[in-house]
Amino acid sequence: MNYLNSIDFAKQQDVLDPLRKYRDKFYIPQHDGGDTVYFTGNSLGLQPKSTQDYVLDELEDWANLGVEGHFHARKPWMPYHEQFAEPLARIVGALPEEVVAMNQLTVNLHLLLVSFYRPAGKRVKILCEAKAFPSDQYALESQVRFHGLNPDDVLIEICPREGEHCIREEDILAGIERHRDELALVLIGGVNYYSGQVFDMAGITAAGHRAGALVGFDLAHAAGNLRLELHAWDVDFACWCSYKYLNSGPGGVAGVFVHQRHLNQSTLNRFAGWWGHDKASRFRMEKGFVPMPTAEAWQVSNAPVLSMAAHKAALDIFTEVGMEALTAKSEKLTAYLEFILDEINKTLKSSPTRLEIITPRNIRQRGCQLSFLAHGRGKELFLSLQKKGVITDWREPNVIRCAPVPLYNSFEDVYRFGVYLSEALSI
């Protein structure tokens, strides 16, 4: 597509956008009486307007039915979590029995590591990306110590090469091969939160398995952003949050994927709870954990219904739209943002300021996030954008992360961002 840095072009693209009506299904934060340019769906997605009704239904049923809501609510609470299996399976490319909505992301990561990090003999090492999200780093460090091992000896971090911002995929594969006899686990974020780089999850999984290791992914920045095929890629396990691209509210209920081949391994270590117990005998309240034959076996506690009601409001929109249509728009919208940033850079040739996109330009290696370094500028640039009603994300030392989300962002948003960024750069 031949892009133009003009408001007329942006508005015309929005007219042609088959998903344009979905913007009206979300609340857009306001600034000076108009819509903000909200580019932080990679931190917290916007609220669907239907969310209030979904949550209110459950509050009303709680008020009117009390404990009987578990059986007689409009959506009975006892099996409430079961309704998420099919929509989540479509989003992450799984079988319905391989997914479950539960807990929060890092809680789920810990529960999965109990099962899938099994150091034995010389196979104790974990290969991961350098500069993973801190919560992942802390989880890995603490799990390693839980097994009586030293993280400095066990964790293998694959870094970008000197002078580069992204990790080369060949370096990940080479790291797996180099440590093939020592690896117990490969755990990588599907999308690096800082750079926005998307990793080749299918290739990493295949390489990890050839080396005799298990392979898992943190999909916090991937679920609802990318087309995923976890089952087909043969991934062992994965987890994700729902408050970013899945628009399910701050601290919203998270999700888990466990590949089908692991579901009936009753000998797997797990930290068990009663909601993972076989539901046919759960209420006999007997000793002896009998796991569900699905990913539900990793559940510990019963469903947080109010949080799940918000989750359902968002997932109903995803079911209606579909990931194919979302990613098709995402590619165009992100490419337009890339074009606008490049156009701005052309005007900065005689300035000490320079914008460097650190997210891969290959569309197969990115989702809807672009991160850029503002050379010669500090946090005042980010704050100047805020004052103009542009909501982005700042990361030290001088990186601004932008995520034009296809469900509710527009081409006009991208154009306006370019105008405001140019103005801020001229200050």
Which two structure tokens, joined as six digits, stand for 159?
């870094």
Beta bridge partners of 191: 198
Compute the distance between CA of residue 33 and CA of residue 395 in angstroms, rounded to an integer.
28
Count of alpha carbons within 13 angstroms of residue 344, beta-carbon side: 26
Rg of the chain on CA atoms, in Å:
23
User: Global pTM?
Assistant: 0.96
Distance between first and last Cα of the chain: 32
CB 193 within 8 A of CB 129: no
What was the pLDDT predicted at 378?
A: 87
Phi, psi dihedral angles at 188 (to 5 degrees): -135, 150
Domain with CATH 3.40.640.10 in the chain: 55-320
- How buried is residue 32: exposed, middle or buried, by Cβ count under 10 Å (0-12/13-18/19+)? exposed
Q: What angle do CA 29, 225, 366 make, to 5 degrees?
A: 110
- How buried is residue 8: exposed, middle or buried, by Cβ count under 10 Å (0-12/13-18/19+)? exposed
Compute the distance between CA of residue 359 and CA of residue 198 in angstroms, rounded to an integer.
9
CATH topology assigned to domain 7-35+323-425: Aspartate Aminotransferase, domain 1 (3.90.1150)
Which two structure tokens, joined as six digits, stand for 255?
């999700």
Compute the distance between CA of residue 41 and CA of residue 38 in angstroms, rounded to an integer.
7
CA dihedral over 158, 164, 165, 168, signed as positive or negative? negative
Quick one: residue 103, left, alpha or beta (phi over 0 = left, psi -120 to 50 = alpha)?
left
CATH number of 55-320: 3.40.640.10
- How buried is residue 118: exposed, middle or buried, by Cβ count under 10 Å (0-12/13-18/19+)? middle
**Which of 7, 26, 10 lies closest to 318, judged by CA?**
26
CB 312 within 8 A of CB 83: yes
Which two structure tokens, joined as six digits, stand for 263?
């579901």
DSSP one-letter code for 120: B
What was the pLDDT predicted at 265?
A: 87
Which two structure tokens, joined as six digits, stand for 152?
């400095």
**Which of 339, 415, 417 lies closest to 7, judged by CA?**
415
Compute the distance between CA of residue 327 and CA of residue 331 in angstroms, rounded to an integer.
6
What was the pLDDT predicted at 54?
A: 98
**What are the residue ranges in the chain where pLDDT is below 70?**
none
Compute the distance between CA of residue 81 and CA of residue 224 in angstroms, rounded to an integer.
19
**Which of 268, 312, 308, 314 lies closest to 291, judged by CA?**
268
What was the pLDDT predicted at 1?
A: 83
pLDDT tens digit sequence for 263-281 = 988 788 999 999 999 999 9
Domain with CATH 3.90.1150.10 in the chain: 7-35+323-425
CA dihedral over 39, 255, 257, 109, signed as positive or negative? positive
Pairing outcome for strands 393-395 and 399-402: antiparallel
Q: Is the peptide bond before 397 cis (omega within 30 degrees of 0)?
A: yes
Give the position of tokens 């930290």. Answer: 271
In 3-state terms, what secondary structure has residue 207?
Answer: helix
Count of alpha carbons within 13 angstroms of residue 115, beta-carbon side: 27
Which two structure tokens, joined as six digits, stand for 23?
């913007």
Give kind and range of the element (H or E) at residue 59: helix 51-65
pLDDT tens digit sequence for 225-258 = 999 999 999 999 999 999 999 999 999 999 999 9
What was the pLDDT predicted at 267?
A: 80
Q: Which residues contact 220 (CB under 8 A, 6 or more apart)?
A: 105, 133, 189, 191, 193, 240, 241, 244
